[in-house]
Amino acid sequence: MPLDQYVTLGRSGLRVSPFALGAMTFGEDPPGAGSSVEESEKILAAYLDRGGNFIDTANFYTNGHSEKILGDWFARQPRRRDRVVLATKFFFNMFPGDPNGGGAGRGAIVGQLHESLRRLRTDHIDLYWLHNWDRNTPLEETMRTLDDLVRAGKIRYVGFSNTPAWVTAQAQTAAVLRGWTPLIALQVEYSLLARTVEAEIVPLALDQGLALTPWSPLRNGFLSGKYRRDAVTTDSARTAHVGTPAPADFDVIEAVASVAASLSASPAAVALAWLRARPGTVVPIVGARRLEHLDDNLAALDLTLSATQLADLDAVSAPVLGYPAQLHGAMRAMLQFGGTTVDGEASAVYPPLLASDVRY
């Protein structure tokens, strides 16, 4: 499956590639944090040449250098800018000492957008993400400001990232009831090693028709195939930054490696193929510090996991979702359906009594 087999992002008319290109690693500010300008441009060109059209960055990635690299590249090739979906984020304060330099208040959003447009050298953002929840600003202020910017032509679509489900639900309800621009997608951490979003956020997304764009789909590279149980990592700088897998993580890592071996594929491709098979519209964000990393990730487009392989990966990575999510599965059916089958879901009888045993 090539990158130009597009999907519609949520309830919108926006068509994007099945994988987005994450530009968090574009730039070397601070030194060693990402890719050089030259390598970043090679990665960007390779993604676009393969039919990709969805690029994701943020105002503070590599202290703004990520946005500038993208802006400079598209400025040299202006015809390509209008053929891509360029997404960036606001929230992080890049002006020490200024309490209004970040967050999701009206002035902060407008100011951050102005700076992003300047660095990206464009007159609009195709998808503008709230990067985190601003507890100090009313949601109505944030959503109204974003709607004003859509009406002004500065941004075209809106999404939330790293936001509690109940906050997202409030924002979406306010937008729908007041005729403001609604959310179309949620950017969340989601992978075989990070599935707690399935408690509240994934059900909300499915109910509201919101696309999911998972970040860190390989969980800091833990699912890339580089990590083995009891092996000693030699990349001390990376370990200091992202840590190492927990002992329980290796059960999942080894299951992914087993499936990969059976398919003559890379573990990274298997992990990404599993994500793409999740319910709803799921568009993983793949990052790369080197061009070969991108090629390895995009191999997942040609990989289809069997029902058995998906079930095995589901089982070994099953998350502990906490209350009340655990009551919404087998226990709910057992308590609700009385031993019947409803919508294809069979249930047991609880307590194990016959109808004739009911005395009260």
Q: Would you name the residues annotated as active-site residues? A: 61
Cα separation, 13 vs 163, whole angstroms: 24
CA 118 to chain centre: 25
